[in-house]
Every structure is written in structure tokens, then in C-alpha cells.
């Protein structure tokens, strides 16, 4: 299952009309959703990954997700898979494979800036470049956006509203940019999941420890869900972001 880059990675996908229409319908679910944090829909858990793709770590994550039958959302930075470099070519193939396996692609800006530090024109460019890049792979506008560092501006908000995009924040941070090992990432996720009772988990697919934390996180969620079910309670369920819209 490893993802390998090949000659096709330099091109842009052109899905046929029927496939493009199916993908478009899937993304249109997220049209005009405003801003969503992940609270208040019961014990549903969505896994989301920021800052990728990375050809050394994301393929391993895709393997884990497929092994557990989980569909996730990847908020990507399009500068990581721009044409013209060997790394860009490898990362483009990873994006293509992520889409092929049924995961959602969301806009995380072109180069991960802090939006409030940019001019209005620069903010528009950051969002537009990644919208265009995602549509090149999927054949449909993404309509999912997450601002870097969670920092957004009135200009970006107005632009996203005009495009019909939904801003997805999170309520369960994995702290995987603070703790650089699997055990601490697992502990952080499960503590916050217990506190909130469900929600949107933020992780980063550019880090090896995060990639390897996903199997124990998924197992822990399943074990807790079994305990809840045995107690006659609603169990945890790993779902897609459409449950939160």
C-alpha cells in the first residue's frame, strides 16, 4: 500500500463527468456552513490532519486509516505539492492517493501564514491558490477551510462566505506539536475526548509520532465505545466531518 510518486504526478487529474459529479455532490454538503467547532452532536469523533501532505509520513497514515476503515479530512497547504520540484511531485502523488482513497481535502492556505498578518490581497491569494489546487485533483470546489493557527480575519471570512465555504475549527487538539511521542499524543486526545464527549480532533500528518499515534488513538476510542455500549450509553463513533455540518 505504500504511495509511490510517478510520472503522472506532474499532471493535473481530469476526472470524467460522472465521477466529477459524484465528488462535487460530496463536497457540496459543506456549502455555506459558517464556522464549526465540533461541539454538541453527541459522541461523534472526526479525525482531521493539517499541514500536509508529506511523502514520508502521509502514506503511512493512509495505510493506518485504511486498516481501521476510517475516512478523515486533510487540510492541505498547496505549496507543498506545487509543480517544479522533486518533493512537490512526490507530494502531488500523495494528494492524489489521499483523494482516491475517499478522504476529504480541505484548504489550509497555500503556505500556512498567519492570516491577520497579511494584506487583504495576500489573504485572497493564499486561499485561492489552494482552492484551485484542490479542484485540480477532485474536479470540485473543496468548500472546507481551516485557517492556520485558527486565526482568521473579517476579509477572509467574507471571502469564504462569498465562496460558500465552511470554516472547520476543532475542539480536541492532540498537542502533537508540543509532545513528540505517541503516548503523550494518545493521552492528550483521550483526555480531551472524555472532557468534551466527542468532537473534531486536530492532528498533523507531517510528523512520524502523529502517524504512529493514530492506531492507538483509534483502538482507545473503540475500547471506550464498547464500555459505553455495555453501560447502555451512546458509544463513541468515528465519523466524517459531514456529521458536524
| Dihedral of the alpha carbons of 126, 128, 133, 137, in degrees to the nearest 10 | 140
Q: For this structure, is 110 an active site residue?
A: no
Which segments of the chain does DSSP mark as H helices, in order?
17-28, 58-68, 86-100, 120-138, 154-163, 182-196, 208-230
Rounded to whole angstroms, the Cα distance separating 109 from 198 reads 27
Rounded to whole angstroms, the Cα distance separating 90 from 164 reads 31
Rounded to whole angstroms, the Cα distance separating 210 from 62 reads 12
* The pairing of beta strand 199-204 with beta strand 172-173: parallel
Q: For this structure, is 13 an active site residue?
A: no
Catalytic residue among 54, 103, 110, 204: 204
The DSSP result for 35-71, as a single string, is EE-S-SSSSEEEEEEES---TTTHHHHHHHHHHHT--
Catalytic residue among 16, 50, 112, 175: 50
Residues 10 and 37: beta-carbon distance below 8 Å:
no
Burial degree of 194 (CB within 10 A; 0-12, 13-18, 19+)? exposed
Q: What phi, psi does 136 have (nearest 5°)? A: -60, -30
Enumerate the active-site residues: 50, 204
Amino acid at each position: 500500500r505504500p504511495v509511490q510518486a510517478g510520472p503522472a504526478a506532474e499532471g493535473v487529474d481530469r476526472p470524467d463527468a460522472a465521477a466529477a459529479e459524484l465528488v462535487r455532490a460530496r463536497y457540496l454538503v459543506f456549502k455555506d456552513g459558517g464556522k464549526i467547532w465540533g461541539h454538541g452532536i453527541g459522541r461523534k469523533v472526526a479525525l482531521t490532519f493539517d499541514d500536509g501532505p508529506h511523502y514520508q509520513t502521509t502514506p503511512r497514515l493512509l495505510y493506518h486509516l485504511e486498516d481501521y476503515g476510517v475516512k478523515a479530512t486533510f487540510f492541505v497547504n498547496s505549496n507543498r505539492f506545487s509543480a517544479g520540484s522533486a518533493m512537490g511531485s512526490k507530494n502531488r502523488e500523495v494528494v492524489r492517493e489521499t483523494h482516491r482513497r475517499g478522504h476529504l481535502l480541505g484548504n489550509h492556505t497555500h503556505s500556512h501564514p498567519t492570516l491577520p498578518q497579511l494584506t487583504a490581497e495576500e489573504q485572497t491569494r493564499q486561499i485561492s491558490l489552494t482552492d484551485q489546487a484542490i479542484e485540480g485533483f477532485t474536479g470540485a470546489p473543496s468548500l472546507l477551510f481551516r485557517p492556520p493557527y485558527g486565526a482568521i480575519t473579517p476579509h477572509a471570512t467574507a471571502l469564504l462566505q462569498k465562496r460558500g465555504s465552511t470554516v472547520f475549527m476543532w475542539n480536541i487538539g492532540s498537542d502533537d506539536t508540543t509532545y513528540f511521542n505517541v503516548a503523550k499524543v494518545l493521552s492528550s486526545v483521550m483526555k480531551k475526548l472524555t472532557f468534551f464527549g466527542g468532537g473534531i480532533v486536530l492532528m498533523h500528518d507531517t510528523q512520524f509520532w502523529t502517524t504512529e499515534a493514530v492506531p492507538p488513538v483509534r483502538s482507545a476510542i473503540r475500547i471506550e465505545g464498547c464500555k459505553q455500549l455495555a453501560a447502555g450509553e451512546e458509544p463513541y463513533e468515528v465519523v466524517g466531518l459531514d456529521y458536524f455540518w
